[in-house]
């Protein structure tokens, strides 16, 4: 099954699968981000993070494999009176052409064999002193029923981030237990990895 087909099945319902509120951890990191620099949301789906930052005055671009998710994002942005540039692309096929001062991602379903290439793209795309902030399900999430992939190869370990991003300062990379309240898709106790990296 393609990424587009997988995510279109989740997003084709009328309600927003992960809700309209931004990811709580990414929101808590908002002081890291620079409004004068371009802002990129990876695997952004229906737009909850993108809309939040657009409303804060950021110049936001959102990438996702789901054309249905991005259509909902665009309607959400119109309703909120903001603009988000969208691009429908599988992150494995993404070819960055711009630099961004801030990059965020929440719960990317990326196979472990595909991560090195994506991580290199993220690092190369960040401007000097820019931040990459994300929250990802850890391998221990298999013990919980709050959402996320059920295959370990799509879950993350702290070492996934500490072993890569050689040109970034590891501001914070930690595995924590949290309580998720994100629409239908993420509800309840969860094991996540929270990442804050700064380009050197």
- The answer to whether the predicted template modeling score (pTM) of the entire model surpasses 0.85 is yes
The fold of the 3-199 domain, in CATH, is: Rossmann fold (3.40.50)
Position 1 scores a pLDDT of: 66
What is the end-to-end Cα distance of the chain in Å, rounded? 38
Residue 191 in tokens:
């094991």
Supply the pLDDT for residue 2. 82
pLDDT at 88: 96
Residues (pLDDT < 50) of the chain are none
User: Could you report the per-residue pLDDT of 90-132, keeping only the tens digit for each?
Assistant: 999 999 999 999 999 999 999 999 999 999 999 999 999 999 9
Order of strands across the sheet with 186-199? Answer: 84-88, 60-64, 39-42, 100-106, 126-137, 186-199, 168-182
> What are the φ and ψ backbone dihedral angles of 4, each rounded to 5 degrees?
-65, -45
């Amino acid at each position: 099954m393609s990424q587009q087909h997988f995510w279109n099945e989740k997003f084709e319902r009328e309600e927003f699968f992960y809700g309209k509120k931004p990811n709580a951890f990414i929101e808590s990191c908002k002081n890291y981000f620079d409004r004068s620099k371009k802002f990129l949301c990876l695997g952004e789906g229906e737009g909850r993070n993108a809309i939040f930052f657009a409303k804060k005055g950021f110049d936001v671009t959102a990438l996702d494999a789901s054309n249905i998710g991005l259509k909902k994002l665009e309607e959400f942005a119109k309703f909120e009176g903001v603009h988000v540039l969208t691009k429908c692309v599988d992150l494995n096929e993404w070819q960055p052409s711009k630099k961004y001062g801030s990059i965020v991602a929440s719960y990317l379903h990326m196979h472990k064999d595909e991560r090195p290439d994506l991580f290199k793209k993220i690092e190369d795309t960040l401007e000097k002193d820019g931040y990459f902030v994300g929250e990802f399900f850890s391998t221990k999430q298999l013990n919980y029923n709050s959402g996320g992939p059920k295959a370990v190869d799509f879950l993350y370990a702290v070492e996934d981030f500490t072993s890569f991003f050689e040109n970034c300062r590891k501001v914070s990379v930690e595995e924590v237990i949290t309580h998720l309240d994100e629409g239908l898709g993420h509800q309840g106790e969860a094991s996540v990895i929270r990442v804050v990296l700064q380009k050197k």
